[in-house]
Amino acid sequence: MKERNYKELSYFDYWTRRDFLKKTGVFMGAGLLQPVLSLIDAGKTVEAAYPEEVQSIEKYTKGKVKPGMIITKENVELIKDIATEGLVVELQRGAQIKIAETTTRPEAKQPKFWLDATLRHNGQAVLDKSGQLWHKSGGPWIGGAPFPEPKSALEAIWSYKFSPRRYDNVRVISTTSHIDTNGVLVRKDEAIFMQIQTVGRLVVDPKPVVSQYKDELHRVLLSLHKPFDSYGLAVLTTVHYDASRLPDTDLYIPTLRRTRRVPSSQRFEPTGPYAVHYTSDFDIQNDPVLTWSWNLAGRKPMLGPSPSNVGTRAKGAKREDFVFPPFPDKFPRTTWELRPEMLLLDGVPHLPGANYSKKRVYFDPIYLITEQADIWDMGGKLWKYLLFIWGDTGVSDNAGGTAPDLTGIVFADLQRDFHSNVDFYNRIGDYTFLVNSPELNTEDWATPSAMLRRARK
Amino acid sequence: MRRGKFLSSMLLIFFAVAIRSTAWGQFNVGPFEITGFYQYTVDTPTEHANPNNFACLSFIVGPFKCSPGLQKRGGKPDFLLMRQLLDVNIFGKFNENWSATFEPRLFFDMTKIADNHFRQYESLPTPFAGSGWMLRGGGNDFKAEMWQAYTDYRSGNWWVRLGKQQIAWGEALGLRVLDTINPLELSQNLSTDRIFEEFDRVRIPQWFARADYTIPNETIPDLTAEFILNPGLVVPTLLPPQGSPFNVVPAFLKVRNRVNQGEPTVGGRITGSLEPVQFSLNFVTKPNDDALGLSQGVNLPGCLFPVLPPATPCIILKGEHPRIYIVGGSANYNWTWAGAVLRAETTITPNGPFASNTAGTPVKIVDRSVWKTVLAVDRPTYLIPGLDSMTIGFQFFETYTGGKKAGLTDATGAKVDSNVHIFTVFFQQPLLEKRVSLEFFGLFDTDDAHWLQPGVHWEVGNNVRLDLFYNKFGGAEKRGSRFGSNLNFVNGPFFRFTYGF
């Protein structure tokens, strides 16, 4: 029998964190295994949960790749086995990334209050026969990631999708640069995005459920400010708790001077002119969980974006800095690191009009989020690469810490070589980045009548 | 001279565009965001001259075609509209409670400069007493106006908007059923612009106090009561001036609009959601927007010698605007199984005004109940493999008029039917990552009238938008209140260049 060797990049075939925990005798009460996060809660670190070899890219690649090294199309082969397919294509076409040491602090990309709730509520989440998430009491989930140590793709995707932004509410300000094959900026949009969680609330009253909206997961408001003919357009999405239902969509259309309910089925086409991204692509996976089927295709160490990519929050950042600098470049420079473990979740859509054959979502079980996805067309050809980068915003999370959140997004159409890159700001005009704010409630922001009274045109 | 003036105007346009071509636009000045657009429109008739400009009447020979009539030269003009428009939206947010919006517009109508078929006419006339409240001024070609100017106050469940504003109600698009709070400005296009933009450019903002209160309750989320009041600054439907390209009033007629200022518009509605249904219940009372023409006698010289119709129309009408009461409601249903949204909208006007005619002369106003209903469905559909879904909208519109109709005419002077049935379809097929939209609007009146508007909308980068559309009216139906061959003088393409900032 062939001896298994982690150098074959199949190290999870013979090693699991469960084995490691067993060997080190780290148990919780009632004989339950502790997840990585509770190790940390017990004063240990991620280092204690993973072998040394997968926490150092230098060791993992036998010294071929080291922190500080710049990866370009000249040396992309060095990281080909630990990068997503989409990232490799981007590098081959001119993207550049810098390698950094592995970050082992979960709070680098997750708010502390969320991690605490994840630990506090561990073991209380159940999935019913259809795969719908519930609290063991029968009610909606009460907050925190429901499955801190996911054993299936469905558990992993629920741990992310229940509240992709983690906050009871969040308001972000973004610009999207659409850049063509030649690297020319062809259009720039500006938008306010808001998400208000109606269940699983942890910080802002009422908690954990807004009783009036208990059948919903969250409401999402997208308000466009640029270009001129989108000014004032608002899109309100009501996401149902029942993950087999498509959301409801209401628009405020300035030229109609009123709100209008529209079908929600246009999920697999550009959100606007020049846009690479579809409605389905927001938050890496925007369709309700049970409208796709999910399969755990593997787990292995892989490259993931470093939390040092803070984008516009990097004061004085220059174009050549590897922090996702806010310049309209086709390939904003970013810093990457070896993540000790990445779950490969293969999703297949079952929605009318879906033109994806598969989406592979890369789930980081330390952060319990996903920051990358590859998408294949119906012919099985790699089509898109999605990169959602998290980092510290430096803004209070109104729960005793600072708020990690998205700091940059790349939507790459690999077949057309076209990009829609998103930058996030702490302030544009009269809007500021906010999380867990008492002023962001459904009635004031996320209803048709709220859209009407806040209309700017 | 005309050509020189025209060319210098065009040079100004391209200079203005060129100096800003590298900027992404939208300015911020203090608390104000300034955005807007410059638009150059060319609308050309390709089929018929406007018969209304040549419709004369003589007591000696009866109705006859007088050429050049109200025009300087007879025949089909070269242009229906050649216009420059600057529309600016200024939004200022002072704090979380207060904000203000101003929308000034500048017009420069070059139609008369470019086309010597026309006499001089006022491009955007306001021929009624009290029109100063429209905040519009300028000459025959150039006009400036404060289209909208209002302030918003929001606090808790309250929202109050005070000022000159548009108020749009209802589910139906492009059909005036509940969306009748504001009158229409039809001077320059009879609302035949790109149908996708509905009435935004022509729904005349009026001075209103609008107050909304969202009623907290567990049963109906978003239950909101709205109250609107215009204290009596009345604006009627504004029609194109006689002699202008879009004129709809025959040359032998003169209508003197009698707008009684001080007549308030009062209304309200309740809106809410009872999933999967959103609904509204509405009420409004207001002076009728359209003038009902009643005979004021004849101008004998004009009827005997109709050689100069502009100065001497044969028949003079006074345009009355009686008060009407409208009750109605609307609802939509999110039919998720079919991926469609169903819509319904209805109103009853118990005292819809009509002119009662004696020997062909409108002599008095009588009331008839009018019931309007729209049923609609919107469904995106993937029709062409490999392309984005096509937005498909279908509407059925019925107007029922009760009571005796013999001898009655409507605001256009047309005979009244018990039932009018109209179907509309709208298709929008995006292409090239939604940069280009192929659009088609069709309106079909079962009495054999139709209006077709195919076109293409092209978004170029952030700032430039190009539109090329074609209006086609036709069918045997010729009555003025219908969309048939009475409007075939509008048939032809129109092109718009828009530069936004």
Asked whether the predicted pLDDT for residue A2 surpasses 50, the reply is no
CA-atom Rg of chain A in angstroms: 21
**Local structure of A29: helix, strand or coil:** helix
Whether the Cβ atoms of residue A253 and residue A341 lie closer than 8 Å to each other: no
How high is the pLDDT of residue A47?
76
How high is the pLDDT of residue B1?
44
Whether the Cβ atoms of residue A335 and residue A322 lie closer than 8 Å to each other: yes
Asked whether the predicted pLDDT for residue B198 surpasses 80, the reply is yes
How high is the pLDDT of residue B190?
86
How high is the pLDDT of residue A7?
39
- Residue B225's DSSP bridge partners are B213, B270
Choice between A212 and B285, residue whose per-residue pLDDT is larger: B285
Give residue-wise pLDDT tens across range B79-91: 999 999 999 999 9
**Which residue of chain A comes nearest to B220, CA vs CA?**
A212
Asked whether the predicted pLDDT for residue A167 surpasses 70, the reply is yes
Asked whether the predicted pLDDT for residue A37 surpasses 80, the reply is no
How high is the pLDDT of residue A117?
96
User: What average pLDDT does range B412-438 have in this prediction?
Assistant: 96
Lowest mean pLDDT among A190-199, A360-369, B22-31, B196-205: B22-31
How high is the pLDDT of residue A320?
95
User: What average pLDDT does range B111-138 have in this prediction?
Assistant: 95
> Residue A66, Cβ neighbours under 10 Å: how many?
12
Q: Is the pTM of this model over 0.90?
A: yes
**Local structure of B269: helix, strand or coil:** strand
How high is the pLDDT of residue A280?
97
How high is the pLDDT of residue A430?
83
Q: Tell me the pLDDT band of B62, cut-offs 50, 70 and 90.
A: confident
Which ranges of B49-191 would DSSP assign to H, the alpha helix? 111-114
Asked whether the predicted pLDDT for residue A5 surpasses 50, the reply is no
Nearest CB neighbour to B339, from listed A186, A248, A265: A265
The alpha-carbon gap from A274 to the nearest alpha carbon of chain B, in Å, equals: 5
In whole angstroms, give the CA distance from residue B330 to residue B280.
Answer: 5
Q: What is the DSSP letter of A236?
A: E
Q: Is B458 on the interface with A (CB under 8 A)?
A: no
For chain A, the average pLDDT equals: 91
User: What average pLDDT does range A225-244 have in this prediction?
Assistant: 96
The alpha-carbon gap from A356 to the nearest alpha carbon of chain B, in Å, equals: 12
Which contacts of A68-76 are long-range, i.e. CB under 8 A and separated by 24 or more positions? Answer: A68/A98, A68/A99, A68/A100, A69/A98, A69/A99, A70/A96, A70/A97, A70/A98, A70/A99, A71/A96, A71/A97, A71/A98, A71/A99, A71/A336, A72/A96
**Amino acid letter, A18:** R
Helices then strands, each counted (H, E), chain A: 9, 20
Q: Cβ A228–B379 below 8 Å, yes or no? A: no
In whole angstroms, give the CA distance from residue B214 to residue B156.
Answer: 9
Q: Which of residues 211-230 of A touch B (CB under 8 A)?
A: 211-213, 225-229
Domains along chain A with CATH numbers: 157-454 (2.50.20.10)
How high is the pLDDT of residue A326?
95
Give residue-wise pLDDT tens across range A339-391: 999 999 999 999 999 999 999 999 999 999 999 999 999 999 999 999 999 99
How high is the pLDDT of residue B310?
55
What backbone torsions phi and psi does residue A173 show, to the nearest 5 degrees? Answer: -115, 130
Asked whether the predicted pLDDT for residue B18 surpasses 90, the reply is no
Asked whether the predicted pLDDT for residue B355 surpasses 70, the reply is yes
Asked whether the predicted pLDDT for residue B128 surpasses 70, the reply is yes
How high is the pLDDT of residue A123?
94
How high is the pLDDT of residue B200?
93
**Which residue of chain A comes nearest to B201, CA vs CA?**
A255
How high is the pLDDT of residue A6?
36
In whole angstroms, give the CA distance from residue B366 to residue B364.
Answer: 7
Whether the Cβ atoms of residue A265 and residue A246 lie closer than 8 Å to each other: yes
In whole angstroms, give the CA distance from residue A417 to residue A183.
Answer: 9
- Compute CA distances B358 → A53, B62, B252, B316, B386, whole Å: 101, 18, 19, 16, 62
Structural tokens at position A56: 């150092």
**Which residue of chain B comes nearest to A212, CA vs CA?**
B218
Closest by CA to B79, choosing from B40, B124, B28, is B40
Nearest CB neighbour to A263, from listed B380, B388, B465: B380
Q: Is A274 on the interface with B (CB under 8 A)?
A: yes
How high is the pLDDT of residue A29?
31
Helices then strands, each counted (H, E), chain B: 3, 26
How high is the pLDDT of residue B308?
56
- Residue B438's DSSP bridge partners are B429, B456
- Compute CA distances B72 → A27, B109, B110, B139, whole Å: 97, 17, 16, 20
Asked whether the predicted pLDDT for residue A27 surpasses 50, the reply is no
Choice between B407 and B11, residue whose per-residue pLDDT is larger: B407
CB within 8 Å of B97: residues ≥ 6 apart: B153, B154, B155
For chain B, the average pLDDT equals: 92
